[in-house]
Chain A
């Protein structure tokens, strides 16, 4: 993975998406398209968006994440956001960003557990 790339890998029945620390708008738009396309091809049950490496989450990025989660839901999948770092959480809250009803987890591990539990 080179700097500035999105990675999407399939673990069990789930797609794990990781993004670079400071993605530009174009990359964020690509992320949406790629995730939906790979979800369709791979027949995964859900998507974990791991943002533990992200150190800036502005309204555009947040808006695209929420939108992507809605699209994933329309396709029949579920989305969990994992790993938001404390500074990003503080800033997002004060900025007034809303994440709808997307589930969140501390890290990828607990996100995978939650995905698995919801399959039973």
Chain B
């Protein structure tokens, strides 16, 4: 069992070390600014990317951030996919509940990240890993 392969057009940043978290932020900041997001939206997207890249580093050891620009009904979107082959999220519904944090750090994570973007989807399975997709419209 594995996730369905990603569609065409993605570029990716591997996430293996702590410095890859900064690297993913830089890549997304450059791309989002170039795409024409206003400053507050750039900050939202970069922060969301930072949270999910750190989750991969912290819980799955390694994975990757994939990103692409999308045209949907004449609108430009940024799509980010965070993938890992880590332990998976046991209960996605619970992890999306307010105040949940499996590391006990700040009691947040996924619900907060979701508020920073327009769309967020989570696929997770024990033994397969986790894939989180974020989308934001310019």
Contact = CB atoms under 8 A, between A and B. Distances in A.
Nearest to A94: B115
Interface string B5-43: 000000000000011011001100100000000011011
A30 B50 CA distance: 19
A56 B108 contact: no
B86 interface: no
A98 B22 CA distance: 22
Query: Chain B interface mostly helix, strand, loop or mixed?
Result: helix
A98 B106 CA distance: 8
A50 to B, nearest CB: 18
Interface in B77-122: 98, 105-106, 108-109, 111-113, 115-116
A24 interface: yes
Interface stretch (A74-82, A84-92, A112-120): A84-92
Interface in A21-65: 22, 24-26, 55-60, 62-63
Interface residues of B, number: 27
A95 B43 contact: no
Contact of A62 (B43, B106, B111, B113): B106
B105 to A, nearest CB: 6
Nearest to A88: B43
Given A25-B18, A58-B50, A60-B54, A91 B44 contact: yes
Contacts of B106: 59, 62-63, 97-98
Contacts of A25: 18, 21
Given A62-B106, A95-B51, A98-B106, A87 B39 contact: yes
